[in-house]
């Protein structure tokens, strides 16, 4: 029997994962790859786990930054009952695509867990999956969670019911490891964290506004203000559509 390229990278665990996990990762033209890489790495190296990179079709497209991607599963092919549906940041126009929102609402509504990193949390909200839930996202857009009926909560990772959200990049790993614990147990989660040697030590410790200070934070907010205002308009339209008061 021949090995798939991913098989040698599966992390052995001290006990078997009895039931196969089905993990859907939403991708699309212009998606922000760092927001999904934690989920893809953590669950992609877990035994007895199937990953589905899901989009409308299987044509090649460009992710951000400069990451050529091709989905391996279409919306129509995606398993109906996922253990996890995960979404990272995507372009604002895709956040309002009716076909995308219908897919996220249907498949996320059935999944055991749904997760969103960075603006991916806003996508969950746009699909109606965050009404009444606590959630977080990146600091630039944190207040916009209220447009979707969510309660904006300041934390690295926020878990409420079966919804789990985080800030960008490293949040993808933090969230993924927590989900391993929820799905197959904390002992395996600890093993995976060690096997990956995941113990971040950022050199500047400016990765949150409270660490960076007001001057640097103001510069960061100003730099992304054009994108933030576009997503704000998306959120305001979503609030009207979702009848959020």
Residues taking part in catalysis? 118
Cα–Cα dist 243/239, whole Å: 6
Burial 213-241 (b: 16+ CB within 10 A, else e): eeeebeeeeeeeeeebeebbebbeebbee
Cα–Cα dist 127/157, whole Å: 20
- Calculate the alpha carbon distances from 213 to 59, 137, 208, 234 in Å: 43, 19, 8, 29
Are the C-beta atoms of 42 and 192 separated by less than 8 Å?
yes
């Amino acid at each position: 029997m021949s090995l798939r390229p991913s098989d040698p990278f599966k992390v052995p665990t001290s006990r078997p994962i009895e039931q196969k996990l089905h993990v859907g990762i939403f991708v699309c033209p212009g998606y922000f790859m760092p927001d999904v890489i934690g989920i893809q790495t953590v669950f992609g190296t877990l035994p007895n786990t199937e990953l589905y990179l899901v989009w409308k079709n299987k044509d090649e497209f460009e992710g951000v930054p400069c990451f050529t991607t091709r989905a391996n599963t279409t919306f129509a092919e995606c398993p109906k009952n996922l253990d996890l549906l995960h979404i990272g940041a995507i372009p604002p126009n895709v956040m309002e695509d009716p076909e995308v929102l219908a897919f996220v609402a249907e498949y996320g509504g059935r999944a055991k867990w749904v997760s969103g990193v960075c603006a991916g949390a806003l996508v969950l909200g746009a699909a109606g999956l965050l009404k009444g839930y606590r959630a977080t996202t990146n600091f630039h857009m944190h207040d916009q969670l209220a447009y979707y009926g969510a309660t904006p909560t300041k934390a690295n990772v926020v878990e409420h019911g079966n919804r789990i959200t985080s800030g960008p990049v490293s949040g993808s790993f933090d969230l993924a490891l927590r989900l391993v614990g929820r799905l197959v147990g904390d002992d395996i989660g600890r093993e995976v964290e060690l096997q990956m040697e995941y113990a971040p030590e950022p050199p500047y410790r400016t990765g949150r506004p409270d660490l960076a200070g007001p001057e640097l934070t103001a510069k960061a907010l100003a730099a992304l203000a054009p994108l933030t205002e576009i997503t704000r308009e998306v959120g305001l339209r979503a609030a009207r559509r979702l009848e959020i008061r």
